[in-house]
Structure formats: C-alpha cells, structure tokens
Amino acid sequence: MLNFSLYFNLRLSLILVISTALIKTGNWYFLAIYLILAFGWTFLLKTPIFTLIKLLGLELIFLGLMSLPLGVEKASFLILRSLLCLLIMNSFLLTIPKYHLAIALKGLPLPVKMQEIVILTAQYLEILLLEIKQMHTAAKLRGLKGNSQWLRYISASLIGSLYLRSLDRSERVYNAMLIKGYNGNFPVVIKISKMEHFILIITAIIGIILTINSYNSLI
Amino acid sequence: MIKINHQEQPIIIVNNLVFGYEKKLILQGISFSLNRGERVALLGKTGAGKSTLLDNLIGLKLPQQGEIMIEDLKVENSNLNQIRKKIGFAFQNPEHQLFMPTILEDVMFGLLNYQISPQKAKEKARFLLAEFDLIEYENRSAHELSGGQKRLAALAGILALDPSILILDEPTNGLDPAWRKKLAQILLNLSVEVILIASHDLHWIRKITARGLILDQGKIQVDQPLSELFKQEKTLEKYRLFLDW
Amino acid sequence: MIKINHQEQPIIIVNNLVFGYEKKLILQGISFSLNRGERVALLGKTGAGKSTLLDNLIGLKLPQQGEIMIEDLKVENSNLNQIRKKIGFAFQNPEHQLFMPTILEDVMFGLLNYQISPQKAKEKARFLLAEFDLIEYENRSAHELSGGQKRLAALAGILALDPSILILDEPTNGLDPAWRKKLAQILLNLSVEVILIASHDLHWIRKITARGLILDQGKIQVDQPLSELFKQEKTLEKYRLFLDW
Amino acid sequence: MHIPDGFISPSVALATTLTSASFLTVSLSRTGKQIGLKQAPIMALTTAFIFAAQMINFPVAGGTSGHLLGATLAVLILGNPWAATVAISTVLIIQSLLFADGGITALGANILNMGIVGVWVSWMLTKTLQRLLGGSKKRLPLVAGISAFFSTVIASIFCSLELIISGTVSPHLILPTMTGIHILIGVGEGLITGGVLTYLITIRPDLLPGDEPKLQRWLIPIISTLLIAGILSLFASSFPDGLEKVAENLGFIHLAENVRIALNTPFSDYQISGMNEQVGTSLSGLFGTSICFGLSFLISKFIIPKSA
Ligand SMILES: Nc1ncnc2c1ncn2[C@@H]1O[C@H](COP(=O)(O)OP(=O)(O)OP(=O)(O)O)[C@@H](O)[C@H]1O
Ligand SMILES: Nc1ncnc2c1ncn2[C@@H]1O[C@H](COP(=O)(O)OP(=O)(O)OP(=O)(O)O)[C@@H](O)[C@H]1O
Ligand SMILES: [Mg+2]
Ligand SMILES: [Mg+2]
C-alpha cells in the first residue's frame, strides 16, 4: 500500500481541489478528467465511501436549488464540480489518523505566525470537544433526558461557562507546553520526501495547464 | 436467572458481561450480583478495567455481550433514564462531573431535573455544600477550586439526589486524611441499598466495605469478604495489592 | 539573603512569598529553602495552597510579593525559559499535562523542543514508556488510557527531560499499590538535585522524603525531618494529618 | 453562509483571496503588536471556543438550522477587530480543511464575508451603539445582540453578491433567500451572543472591554442617521421584489409569512410608484429599516438590564 506523509496528502489534495474548482463552467470534458483524478485519489487513500457520501452538505443542496433557475445543464455542472472538490477534500480528511487534525495542519503553506495559531486552535478544539462531551455525559447522569433537553441547557450561560472552562483548560494546556520547553514553534517530525516533492510539483504543473486549457479549448 | 429470596435480594446483577474498546477486549465475562444492604469494594490494578465496568453498569458504555440488571430493569437504552435516577455515580476525575457555571448550580442541576422546586433545591444544595465545607465557594466556578475541593463538590452533587445505589470511582483520590475520615463517616451513615466503590486506597476501603471483588485479566477473580481477603497476603500480592504501599 | 556554604547549597529559595487569587489571599508570607540533595514533602490539608505554591515556584503564577530563586535565577518572566528547563513539574491532574495526539508524541514533545534529534527523541521516549508499562499504548490518545495510566504517561513525559529539580503534585493519586511501590523505587534511584512532592499519601511520602513542610493558614507552620514529625501525633493531628486514614 | 468550492468564478476567487490575504497579513501584525507575546495561545483559545460554540446548532425555519458565526462574540471577547479577524479567519481555514465546510478556493470569499465584513460591521456597530446608549458596560449584551444580528445579515449580503458576480446563481433568487434566512439566523446569533455576554458580565467582567465614554448629545442623531444610511440601507436595499414568490418556489413558506408581517405593510411590493424601480426599492427598504432600527433603539433605551 502507498504510504504518503500527511503533508503530502494535504498538499496534493489542495492542488487537486483548486484546479478542479477553477475549471471553466460548462467544460464537461475537463470535468471528466478531474472526475477520474478525484476517484483515483479516493481509491489511493482508501477512503471509506459511505461516510463520504453522507458528508455531502445541506449547503450544497441549498445552492443547487438556487442555481437551478440558470438551467439544468449549468446547475448540474456546478453541483458536480463542487461534489468533486468535496470528494477530494473528504478523501484527505477521512484518512487523517485519529487525533492528528492539528498536526496535519502543519503542512499548510501559511505564514509561521498564522500557522501557529491554526495548529494551536485545532489542538484546543479537540480538547474542547471532548469537554463538551463530558459535560453532556455528566448532565445525563443527573437526570437530563435526551438531546432536546440538552439543547435547552445549552443556554447562553452554558456556552459562557464553556468559555471559562476552555479558558482554564487552554491555560493549562499552554502551561503544560511551556513546562516542556515550548517556545512558539510546534515541534513535529513529519517530513516530505524528495519523491513526494517531485510528485507535488508535477501535479501542480499539470493542474495549471489543464485549468488554463479549459478556458481555451473548444471542446 | 438468579432467584430472589428475602435475605438476599439482588439489586445489581451482572451476567457474563463482555466489553471491549475498538482495539482490545477489556471485560471478558464478568458475573456477580450485589444484594440489598451490601457495601462492596472493586479492586484491581491500574488499567484492569474497573472504570470500564462501572461505566457499563450505568449504561455509559453498552456491553457487547451479556446483560446487567438494576432492580429488575435491564440496562439498555430504553431504560437508562429510569436506571440513572436510582444511581449516584461519581467519575474517577471530578472535573468531568462539574459542568455548570457555579458549584451551587451544579449541585442544584440534578434536583431541578427531578422536579424539585427551585427554592427547595437551593436549600438542599446549600445544605450539602455546607456539609462538604464548600459553602463559602458556592458561587465559584469549579476550576477555581483545589483538587480536593473539586472532588468534594462532585460528591455533593451526587449525594444531593439521594440515590438508592451509589457507585463511586476512586472517591478518596486527592482528599486529605481528615476528609478521607469524614467521607467514611458520611458513607457509613447513608441509607442506601448498595454501595460499590472502586479504589486503590486499601486501608480506607476496608473500613467502608465488607465484600471485595478483584478484577483481573477481564474477569472477577476473587469475590470474598474483605476481612478474609486482607488476611490472605498471598492472594493480595498475586493481584499486586500490597498492603504496605 | 541566605548564605551559601558547601554543606548546604540552596537550590530553591523562597523568600516571604505572598500570593492570592482575586478574591482571597492564599499564601501569606512563605519562606523556606531547599538544599542540594534534599527530598522534601509538602503537606497540608485540602485547599491549603500546596498546588498554588508549586505553581509559583515554576512561574505559572507570579507572586504579589516576595521572591523565589531557583539556582541563582530569580523566578520572573525574563528567566522562565531557563528555569523551566531545569525543572520537571507534574500537575495534580495528569489530564492537564497530556496534550499531544498520542502519548508517544507527548513524551517526545519536550525532547524535540530541546533540540534533540527526532530519532534519539523517539528512542528515549519509547524507553521511558516501556519503563512505565505503556509501550503497547504508545500510539493511543491520552483519553483512551485508564486514570492510573494517564498519571504514568504524564510522569514519563517529565522524567524524559532529565530535570535536575523535580516538583510533583500528588504523584500517587490514582496509582495502584504496585505502582506506588515502583514509583518510589524510580524516584529514589533518580539522580536529581532536589525533589519536592506535595502529597496526602502520608505512608508513601515518608518512604520517599526526609524533610516535611506543613502548609497551613498561608504559612509554612512546620519544617522538620519527617522521622521526627511522624512521631509527634499531636502536631500531625493539629494539621489534620491523621496517620491511620 | 460557507460558500463551497466551485461556486465562485476564478476572477472572484482571485480577487477575494488577494483582498483577504492582504487584510489578514495586516491584521496579524496589528494583533501581534496589540496582544503581545502570548498572542498565539490566547488567540487560539478564543478561536477554538468560537468554533466549539459553532458546533451547537439552533433550529431556524423550515427544517434548516443555523449556527453561531461568532464575529461579534470574537470582537468583544478579544476587544479588538484585528484580532477578531484573525480568529474568525482561523475558524474558516480549519473548517474548510478539516471539516470540508466551505471551499478551499472560496476561502478568500468566506474570510472576506465573515472574517472581515462580519467582524468590522460588528466592531463599528458595537462601538457606536455602546456610545449611543450611554457607554455602560451593562448594556454590552444588548448592543452585542443587535450588532450580531446586523453583522450576520450584512455578511450574507456580501456572500450573495459574490455568487451573483460569479454568475453562479440567479440574483432574483439569491438575495431575498439568503437575506431572509440570515435574518432568522441573525436573530439566533443575536440572542446567543447577547446571552453569552450577559453571563460573562456577571461572572467575569474583567474579561470584557470596559465602559465607553458617552457621546455628546448632539452627536446622537447625526451618528444614528449615518449608521442607518450607511450600513443599514445596504441591508434594506437588498430586498428586491418577489420575496413571496421565492419563498413559495423554495418552500420557505414560514419565512415568507414572517417577513411579510414584519416589513410589508407600508409599501406593498416595496415600490413607490412613479419612481425609478431600483431607487424605489432601496428607499422603501431604507424606510423600513429605519423604523426597525429606531424601534430597536427605543426598546434598548427602555429595557434596563436587571443588574443595572
Ligand atoms: N476510550 C478507550 N479506548 C481504548 N481503550 C481504553 C479506553 N479507555 C480505557 N481503555 C483501556 O482499557 C483498560 C481499562 O481501563 P479502565 O479505565 O477501566 O481501568 P481502571 O481499572 O479503571 O484503571 P485505573 O485504576 O488506572 O483507573 C486500560 O488498559 C485502558 O488502556
Ligand atoms: N483559580 C482560582 N481562583 C480562585 N481561588 C482559587 C483558584 N484556584 C484555587 N483557589 C483556592 O485557593 C486555595 C488553595 O488551592 P490549592 O489548589 O493550592 O490547594 P491545595 O493545597 O493544592 O489543595 P488540594 O490538596 O485539594 O489539592 C483553595 O481554597 C482554592 O479554593
Ligand atoms: Mg479507573
Ligand atoms: Mg492541590
């Protein structure tokens, strides 16, 4: 099985998504090429297909409805193109190892400062989501019934309390990091190999050529 | 099924319980029953599966095989609300238990859920906080308490509901000796039907409970009166329960 | 200031430390010093301020008055990085200490920060995890561990950095007797300059440390060799440290 | 309001990406100066919190649900629009990358709508309203609620404009639908934001910005007018005709009914006869919103917070 690094997967997905999203509206021929590429990528990453299908969002349907007045052909092109992008991105998402969301983001081409904030946020986020789950469990054990009641308790004050709790929690996480010598640079050991670099560059070039061509070609 | 007679009225029956996390089977066929009036210790080394077993009892995790009965109710999704109403359950980490903005609200939360009037609930909550020496902190958020105080606040929130079954996961963790003593007194004076306590604090637990279950290798390996068990150093050492540590 | 001589070389000096949270003064003038080679217990009842004091030592909280010196460095913002490099610090709640996706990465985190090569860091981290019986869980997230295992993982992450000063906040909380024993051995065999441990586990701490500080009412009320202290039941009871609980 | 991939044209994508990127760069350096050394963790925390709060959905109408966008919340908690821009942008980056919510190529547009427009509208509105209402910190929840509402709606208008310029949607449909839905979402946003702040003010007032100096009396009418004319007319003019029809088409009957009751009475069909169609529409819209705004202002004048 192919074993790419997390960063490589992220970057390749980004390249594919961007070039798919930008092909000319109505150019079905190029869309077909990307369809094949997207499915290839999904296959290579061994993405769980059913989870993938479930993830297609409400927002897409909503926008689909609104683009329908532009004509069935145009609307279906828009939707299909969008679906392909989702397919590629989700293939990456669903194959991130558990708990590595934050680490995966280290592969983003962002300025260092922004990257640090993004990584820390993702890291806190996982902890926060766990806290919410724990709060919910604790509440259930003391007589909270079902999800609808939980919604009632997710009143503003509970969100406020969540904020204080997260403030406290993140301060502790930050302290824990400081104690282990954190100095503003998240140490992570994943590296992109030369081979992977090469593939990335090639794909990017192909992507650019295809996308530009989609505007010139007469097909 | 186990027959019920008047001397031994089982409140909790666990029958061939099997539970595992994704990667690994933890509980591999657990069976025991706890009768009305019993105070029972759940012992076992770090990672033995004590907390996992307790979670199963209250339906936070559902078994892959076997069944659990709490007072004639099977632990399954449709019964959980009813079952949880009977049980007071303390998590191993008290921070997981405290979720309301202030500890007063936290203790009141359960009471309000069970249709007690706000005024009565507040009265009762304040009574319990006073019992646990926390009344001066009633308007504090839980994370502004010390480790031991968090434990006490969590216990107050549970006892406020007058549960008929009490399940505690390492309740003395983080408490000072004086509080361990006071907690023992409180627990011994409670009128509940069954108490089940997981603990590594052997000297404390032997003062509270009369029967001991040792969990090891996914099974209940020992089920004995504690007074006997504590005489058998060999057995204890076999399960890494050293009395002098 | 305290003079330095060769027998008694102070590593930590706390001088008239005052610290309070918004609402309340907790530490009201704490002074003591710890010399090279000492193993010291910090005792005191729930909510006495032990954790608060330890946080001050490492600059997680900064005092309102007084000063703290760690090996000739004053604890203040400009020195914190240097100071923290020397100190291994274990939180009271191990969950607060573990923040990386897996416990292997968590133990490696500190090593990588101190410019150790990824390969060496990994080797060392795995060695420590093996020592704490966690090697089979190296790729697990911290919340998939049992309470005791979390404690062990947190300790592994600290010991990996070979600190010269060790400050532990209730390290035996949640550990089974066998692990309490093993941890004692590990700590006794470490070559560190100073160990300061806050604990309620009197029988354990007396096996590890030789000197005891009792914190009460915001002051260090007692500073004695533990062997003497444990003979004075009156003193112990005055500070609610009951030996048989 | 998260635009997915493939719904905006390359030129719009490019333009919005460039705008957002340069704005974000400025925001980052401003944030660095104003928040200082520990900025990353504090920023990350607030951001993570907003993110977590967003996970909580509230039902809107017709089976859809909205969730907090958090622009106003971020502005008030961080006390600084630059930092809030960074925070909301971070949320959007993570959402698009880790939750496939919002497209990669649309990231620039999404940041522009929510992280820049949403944040700055919130900032300006809270600042001005706060001063208009006398500057007391106790008013913050109310001010925040109102700002949250408008910032949500205005951000959604920007979103619609981008889709229209991209030629992806039909303008007749998108503006009323988007705005309509976001009026409902905005109400939820306003309620939650206000509620959270009420809570924070009672428990941890130190975390929030302090009192503002009250405005000079004579400034009040001028600023109010500017506010209405400037920002709110944008919102008003986005109601072209045919809201009813759209609602029917898309099945948002409830929505249509709600809006009709609220806004439709004085000028039926949003037309003032004899005037140029567009001007008429926006004028009537302007009139309607002025009334709304005046009303909310009056209400807020008279609702005195319990603790005041
Ligand atoms: N969420 C989880 N996913 C996978 N494995 C888990 C999870 N939680 C616990 N485990 C594993 O299950 C085993 C039992 O855990 P449990 O928490 O029940 O132990 P315990 O007996 O309560 O230990 P302790 O005395 O340390 O609290 C441990 O080996 C632990 O690693
Ligand atoms: N963040 C906080 N804000 C306000 N008060 C606090 C805060 N944290 C702790 N306190 C109070 O300070 C006092 C000392 O707390 P600390 O955690 O230092 O006690 P401790 O000696 O470690 O207790 P324990 O043995 O229970 O861990 C307690 O009374 C506690 O309520
Ligand atoms: Mg446990
Ligand atoms: Mg403590």
Alpha carbon separation from D253 to D43, D176, D226 (Å, rounded): 41, 13, 34
Gap between the Cα atoms of B162 and B185, Å rounded: 16
pLDDT in tens, chain C (245 residues): 444 444 568 999 999 999 998 868 999 999 999 999 999 999 999 999 999 999 999 988 899 999 999 998 999 888 888 898 899 999 999 988 888 888 998 999 899 888 888 899 999 999 999 999 999 999 888 888 999 999 999 999 999 999 999 999 999 999 999 999 999 999 999 989 999 999 999 999 999 999 999 999 999 999 999 999 988 888 888 898 888 87
In the block, residue with structure tokens 């724990």: A134
pLDDT surpassing 80 at residue A62: no
Residue of C178, C177, C136 whose CA lies nearest to C153: C136
Give the strand pairing for B24-35 and B10-21: antiparallel
Q: Please report which confidence band the pLDDT of residue B99 belongs to, taking 50, 70 and 90 as the band edges.
A: confident
pLDDT tens per residue, range B173-232: 999 999 999 999 999 999 899 999 999 999 999 999 999 999 999 999 999 999 999 898
Name every residue whose Cβ is closer than 8 Å to that of residue B92 and which is 6 or more positions away in sequence.
Answer: B51, B169, B170, B173, B198, C147, C174
> To the nearest whole number, what is the mean pLDDT of chain C?
90
Q: Which atom of ligand 1 is nearest to the CA of B92?
A: 27
Q: Which atom of ligand 2 is nearest to the CA of C21?
A: 4
Residues of chain D below pLDDT 70:
34-42, 55-67, 135, 207, 209-308
Is the whole model's pTM more than 0.90, yes or no? no
Gap between the Cα atoms of A23 and A213, Å rounded: 9
pLDDT surpassing 70 at residue A48: no
Ligand 1 pocket mutation pick from C98, C135, C139, C149 by most atoms within 8 angstroms of CB: C149
pLDDT surpassing 80 at residue A105: no
Gap between the Cα atoms of C173 and C91, Å rounded: 11
Count the helix, strand and coil residues of chain B and give each as a percent rounded to the nearest 5.
40, 25, 35
Instruction: Give the full edge-to-edge strand order of the sheet including C165-169.
Output: C87-90, C165-169, C194-198, C39-43, C211-216, C219-225
**Residue D55 has what pLDDT?**
63
**Phi and psi for A138 in degrees, rounded to 5?**
-60, -40
> Which residues are bridge partners to D66 per DSSP?
D58
Residue of D80, B150, B96, C160 whose CA lies nearest to A140: B96
Gap between the Cα atoms of D112 and D21, Å rounded: 9
Report ipTM (2 d.p.): 0.76
Interchain proximity B141–D203, CB inside 8 Å: yes
**Residue ranges lining ligand 2, Cβ < 6 Å:** B 137, 144-149, 174, 176; C 21, 23, 26, 44, 46-52, 92
Contacts of A56 in chain D (CB under 8 A): none
**Residue D279 has what pLDDT?**
40
pLDDT surpassing 70 at residue A53: no
Q: Which atom of ligand 2 is nearest to the CA of C49?
A: 18
Give B59 to chain D, closest Cα distance, Å: 25
Gap between the Cα atoms of A9 and A50, Å rounded: 21
**Residue B128 has what pLDDT?**
94
- In three-state secondary structure terms, D65 is strand
Ligand 2 pocket mutation pick from C18, C24, C27, C89 by most atoms within 8 angstroms of CB: C24
**Residue ranges lining ligand 1, Cβ < 6 Å:** B 21, 26, 44, 46-52, 92; C 137, 144-149, 174
Q: Classify residue A95 as exposed, middle or buried by CB count within 10 Å of its CB (0-12, 13-18, 19+).
A: middle
Gap between the Cα atoms of B198 and B171, Å rounded: 8
In this structure, which residues have their CB less than 5 angstroms from ion ligand 4? Answer: B 146-147; C 50-51, 92
- The mean per-residue pLDDT over the stretch B103-125 comes to 90
Give A131 to chain B, closest Cα distance, Å: 8
* The domain over range C10-234 is classified in CATH as 3.40.50.720: no
pLDDT tens per residue, range C139-170: 888 888 999 999 999 999 999 999 999 999 99
| Residue to substitute from A52, A118, A210, A216, interface D, most D β-carbons within 10 A | A118
List the single residue in A with minimal CA-CA distance to C92.
A172
List the single residue in A with minimal CA-CA distance to D166.
A25
List the single residue in A with minimal CA-CA distance to B107.
A142
- Provide the H-helix boundaries in chain B: 50-57, 80-86, 103-113, 118-131, 147-159, 177-189, 202-208, 226-229, 233-238
Long-range pairs of C7-11 with CB within 8 A, sequence gap ≥ 24: C8/C35, C8/C36, C9/C35, C9/C36, C10/C34, C10/C35, C10/C36, C10/C69, C11/C35, C11/C36, C11/C70, C11/C71, C11/C165, C11/C193, C11/C194
Give A118 to chain C, closest Cα distance, Å: 15
User: Six-digit token pair at A51?
Assistant: 């989870």
Pick the CATH number of D10-125+208-303 from 3.40.50, 1.10.1760, 1.10.357, 1.10.10: 1.10.1760
- The mean per-residue pLDDT over the stretch A90-95 comes to 78
**Residue D242 has what pLDDT?**
28
Contacts of A178 in chain C (CB under 8 A): 60, 80, 84
The full set of domain ranges for chain B reads 10-234
> To the nearest whole number, what is the mean pLDDT of chain D?
68
In the block, residue with structure tokens 């004085």: D266
Count helices and strands (H / E) in chain D.
13, 2
pLDDT tens per residue, range B48-84: 999 999 999 999 999 999 999 999 899 998 888 889 8
pLDDT tens per residue, range C75-89: 988 888 889 889 999
Residue A33 vs residue D295, higher pLDDT:
A33
- The mean per-residue pLDDT over the stretch A14-42 comes to 85
CA angle at A116 for the pair A112 and A118, rounded to the nearest 5°: 115
Contact C177, C200 (CB under 8 A): no
The full set of domain ranges for chain D reads 10-125+208-303
Give A101 to chain C, closest Cα distance, Å: 9
**Residue C7 has what pLDDT?**
57
Gap between the Cα atoms of A76 and A96, Å rounded: 30
What's the gap in Å between C43 CA and the centre of ligand 4?
Answer: 10
Q: List the single residue in A99, A183, A187 with the smallest CB-CB distance to C101.
A: A99
**Residue D305 has what pLDDT?**
38
pLDDT tens per residue, range D73-87: 888 888 888 989 999
Q: Which atom of ligand 2 is nearest to the CA of C54?
A: 18
pLDDT tens per residue, range D97-123: 877 778 888 899 999 999 999 999 999
Contacts of D203 in chain B (CB under 8 A): 101-102, 141
